[in-house]
């Protein structure tokens, strides 16, 4: 039997209990674990108290590697499609991917993906089990359409026509970086709702889906009334607080499948697929009412700031083919009418084959 190594074998500079160097000698560790070498050192320090002054090297390495795995996050990263860069974590139980927010744990905003498209489950050996849930456009792995299969780290799977997911294992720092990168390209920095680019892309996709499947879609253009006066009276810091607070209020009032974005300045936009004119009018009135009731206070002296909102609404009849530009122009015109009529109100119109 090979003798167990002494502490001085791991830490050559340590003699007579006086540490001169705390750099352990460990050979054969994969490069990805170099950042976790502190785990080894901490384990060594706890074991030095052993009366024999000896350490079980095999146990030390095994524990340090296990700790390194625990700090890593398995995930699917979208590499092509409508949400490039989005990270779907896999370490919190089985994941259901698809378009339906009521049936899926992770929603994919891709019209080529089915409502319930794919189930993904992490296995004990580190591989990923995937199951196609009877999708219309299928799931492709290694060039073949599959029903069930296993992925190893680095492999990619295609959902529908264009959404490609790559199975990766990230450390916490890489995960935070990847998530931050995705947020920076899709989120407004101040309000944390979606940015204008994401909002317009979603509007275009939902209009295409609505035209093919005969479902209605609504677009709401929201403008905060007299917002310039808020900045002039209370300062831009208070104006930023108003924007952040109203973004929270709007987001809380929407359905999971609705998309809220900052269109620019004090303007927000909402895309609501599957809503009729009556339903979208109820939604717009809900947003208008909640905006007027929102509590915002100046950071310096706690003065209450009261803000109202005007909303221009357009509902597109199911099956109608219309451009995003036409929808935005109509919503903007309705918003202008709401302003002209006294503000703090909703003006709506219906786009049909007869009105376009």
Query: 38-42, 52-56, 279-283, 287-291 — which is least confidently predicted?
Result: 38-42
Q: Above 90 in pLDDT, residue 39? A: no
The pLDDT tens digits for 174-226 are 888 888 888 888 999 999 999 999 999 999 989 998 998 899 999 999 999 99
Q: Above 50 in pLDDT, residue 114? A: yes
Q: Answer whether 330's CB lies under 8 Å from 235's CB.
A: no
228-248: average pLDDT: 96
Q: Answer whether 24's CB lies under 8 Å from 47's CB.
A: no
Distance between CA atoms of residues 259 and 328, nearest Å: 15
> What contacts 200, CB < 8 A, 6 or more positions away?
324
Nearest-CA neighbor of 74 among 186, 180, 151?
A: 151
- For position 8, what pLDDT does the model report? 46
* Strand 148-151 relative to strand 309-316, pairing: unpaired
The stretches of the chain forming alpha helices (DSSP H) are: 7-10, 37-47, 57-70, 172-186, 196-213, 227-234, 236-253, 277-293, 324-340
pTM: 0.69
- For position 110, what pLDDT does the model report? 87
Residue 344: pLDDT band (50, 70, 90) is very high
When comparing pLDDT for 217 and 42, which is higher?
Answer: 217
The pLDDT tens digits for 187-196 are 999 999 999 9
What phi, psi does 127 have (nearest 5°)? -80, 170
181-194 in b/e form (b: 16+ CB < 10 A) is: ebeeebbbeebebb
Q: Answer whether 219's CB lies under 8 Å from 327's CB.
A: yes
């Amino acid at each position: 039997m090979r003798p167990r190594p002494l502490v001085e074998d791991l830490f050559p500079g340590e003699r007579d209990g006086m540490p001169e160097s705390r750099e352990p000698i460990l050979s054969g560790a994969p490069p990805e674990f170099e950042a976790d070498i502190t785990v080894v050192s901490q384990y060594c320090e706890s074991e030095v108290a052993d009366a024999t002054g000896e350490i079980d090297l095999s146990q030390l390495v095994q524990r340090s590697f296990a700790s390194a795995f625990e700090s890593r996050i398995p995930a699917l990263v979208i590499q092509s499609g409508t949400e490039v860069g989005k990270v779907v974590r896999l370490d919190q139980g089985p994941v259901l991917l698809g378009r339906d927010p009521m049936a899926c744990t992770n929603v994919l905003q891709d019209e080529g993906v089915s409502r319930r498209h794919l189930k993904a489950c992490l296995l004990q050996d580190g591989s990923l089990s995937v199951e196609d849930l009877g999708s219309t456009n299928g799931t492709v792995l290694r060039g073949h359409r599959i029903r069930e299969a296993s992925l190893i780290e680095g492999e990619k799977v295609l959902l529908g026509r264009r959404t490609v997911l790559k199975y990766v294992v990230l450390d916490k720092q890489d995960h935070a970086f990847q998530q931050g990168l995705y947020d920076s390209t899709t989120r407004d920095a101040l309000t944390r709702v979606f940015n204008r680019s994401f909002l317009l892309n979603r509007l275009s996709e939902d209009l295409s889906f609505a035209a093919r499947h005969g479902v209605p879609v609504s677009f709401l253009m929201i403008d905060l009334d007299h917002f310039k006066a808020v900045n002039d009276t209370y300062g831009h810091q208070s104006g930023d607080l108003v924007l952040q607070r109203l973004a929270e209020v709007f987001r809380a009032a929407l359905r999971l499948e609705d998309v809220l974005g900052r269109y620019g300045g004090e303007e927000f936009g909402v895309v609501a697929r599957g809503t009729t004119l009556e339903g979208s009018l109820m939604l717009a009135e809900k947003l208008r009412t909640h905006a007027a009731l929102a509590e915002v206070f100046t950071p310096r002296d706690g003065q209450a700031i009261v803000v109202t909102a005007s909303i221009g609404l357009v509902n597109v009849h199911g099956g109608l083919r219309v451009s995003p530009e036409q929808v935005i122009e109509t919503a903007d015109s309705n918003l202008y009418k709401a302003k002209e009529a006294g503000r703090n109100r909703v003006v709506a119109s219906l786009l049909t084959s007869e009105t376009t």
